[in-house]
């Protein structure tokens, strides 16, 4: 008998019941997983209070953490009545990233769930938000919950980018589809697969086109389109995706996916990330661009899992 999977929900330090709680509970129930709810507390005003001595300040911190843990237990109680295995934890820490990564590795967790913390563009330029740090460093699937219509996802999209020279990332695209199909099956949700391709984002030299004018000639563009279509069809067929669920759409990936999600009431998009130097490609930094623009939740798969 296999060991039960464990999901981790990162709760807000402000004792707020966000839609991420309902999504985490629904997913844990659907996949028969245990749920660990953890809050990483740190309140600047309390942490830097200067009108009390250190001992009194420590008692205030401990009191806040204890109250938060009791609040988490109140949120967990109805979930346990539904048959879920739920544990809770509250920790005082100024910078939670390292603690989160330790929890994910040592517990271990198979999924990290967190409400997306919306940040302004200026704020993201000056300070890297926790969500982006997690996006770059977390080795397990990340589910950023935002714009929730249904606790249990009803419509899921797997976003793939199968056209790479020498079959680069072939296995990663297969993993994205495998994870999305497994999730859709557990949630009894519809699954569509979208390949948003943008010819302008592909360097001419990458595919042996000598000059941009040649690259954008009708014949060369047709050849490239046919190659992209063939790669997408092979990927979909290999993973048992029916033709009516395959969608190859030309355009900027971020704009295509956002528009598709809004037009078809998508609950979440499953995608992968591999790095930050391939600007403009879906597999890469596009996930960061999408994170704050999507009209639905985002499920991100990391390539570190390929060896697991």
pLDDT digits (tens, 9 = 90+) for 14-66: 899 999 999 999 999 999 999 999 999 876 556 565 556 677 777 888 888 99
pTM, 2 dp = 0.85
The beta strands (E) that lie in the chain are given as 6-11, 34-41, 86-92, 111-115, 142-145, 155-159, 190-197, 246-250, 268-272, 297-301
Tell me, what's the pLDDT at 240?
Answer: 95
**CATH number belonging to domain 6-144:** 3.40.50.12370
- Eight-class DSSP state of 299: E
Span of 68-77, 111-120, 144-153, 271-280 with lowest mean pLDDT: 271-280
Domain boundaries, the chain: 6-144, 155-307
Tell me, what's the pLDDT at 212?
Answer: 44
Average pLDDT over the chain, rounded to an integer:
83
| Class of the CATH-defined domain 155-307 | alpha beta
Tell me, what's the pLDDT at 67?
Answer: 94
Tell me, what's the pLDDT at 304?
Answer: 64
Smallest CA-to-CA distance from 195 within 249, 262, 235 is with: 249
Give the C-alpha separation, 295 to 219, whole Å. 37
Tell me, what's the pLDDT at 134?
Answer: 93
Tell me, what's the pLDDT at 234?
Answer: 93
The answer to whether domain 6-144 and domain 155-307 are alike in fold is yes
Half-sphere exposure of 174 (CA within 13 A, CB side): 10
pLDDT digits (tens, 9 = 90+) for 277-302: 443 344 445 677 788 889 999 999 98
Q: Are 214 and 222 in contact (CB under 8 A)?
A: no
Asked whether residue 223 carries a pLDDT value surpassing 50, the answer given is yes
Is the torsion defined by CA of 206, 208, 214, 220 positive or negative? negative
Smallest CA-to-CA distance from 19 within 87, 95, 136, 113 is with: 113
Span of 76-90, 127-141, 231-245, 253-267 with lowest mean pLDDT: 127-141
Tell me, what's the pLDDT at 217?
Answer: 57
């Amino acid at each position: 008998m296999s060991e039960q999977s464990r999901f981790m929900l990162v709760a807000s330090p402000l004792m707020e019941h966000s839609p991420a709680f309902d999504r985490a509970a629904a997913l844990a129930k659907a996949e028969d997983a245990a749920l660990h709810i953890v809050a990483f507390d740190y309140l600047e005003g309390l942490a830097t209070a200067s009108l009390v001595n250190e001992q009194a300040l420590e008692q205030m911190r401990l009191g806040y953490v204890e109250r938060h843990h009791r609040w988490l237990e109140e949120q967990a109680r109805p979930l346990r009545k539904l048959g879920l295995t739920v544990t809770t934890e509250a920790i005082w820490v100024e910078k939670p990233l390292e603690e989160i990564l330790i929890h994910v590795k040592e517990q271990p967790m198979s999924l990290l769930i967190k409400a997306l913390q919306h940040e302004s563009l200026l704020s993201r330029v000056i300070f890297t938000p926790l969500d982006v740090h997690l996006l770059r460093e977390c080795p397990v699937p990340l589910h950023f919950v935002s714009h929730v219509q249904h606790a249990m996802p009803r419509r899921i999209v797997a976003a793939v980018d199968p056209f790479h020279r020498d079959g680069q990332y072939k296995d990663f695209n297969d993993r994205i589809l495998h994870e999305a199909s497994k999730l859709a099956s557990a949630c009894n949700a519809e699954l569509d697969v979208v390949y948003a391709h943008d010819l302008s984002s592909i360097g001419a030299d990458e595919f042996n086109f000598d000059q941009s004018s040649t690259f954008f000639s009708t014949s060369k563009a047709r050849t490239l389109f046919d190659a992209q279509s063939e790669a997408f069809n092979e990927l979909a067929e290999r993973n048992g995706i029916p033709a009516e669920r395959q969608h190859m759409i030309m355009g900027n990936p971020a704009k295509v996916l956002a528009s598709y999600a809004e037009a078809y009431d998508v609950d979440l998009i499953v995608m992968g990330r591999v790095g930050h130097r391939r600007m403009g490609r879906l597999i890469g930094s596009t996930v960061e661009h999408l994170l704050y623009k999507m009209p639905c939740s985002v499920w991100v798969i990391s390539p570190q899992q390929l060896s697991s």
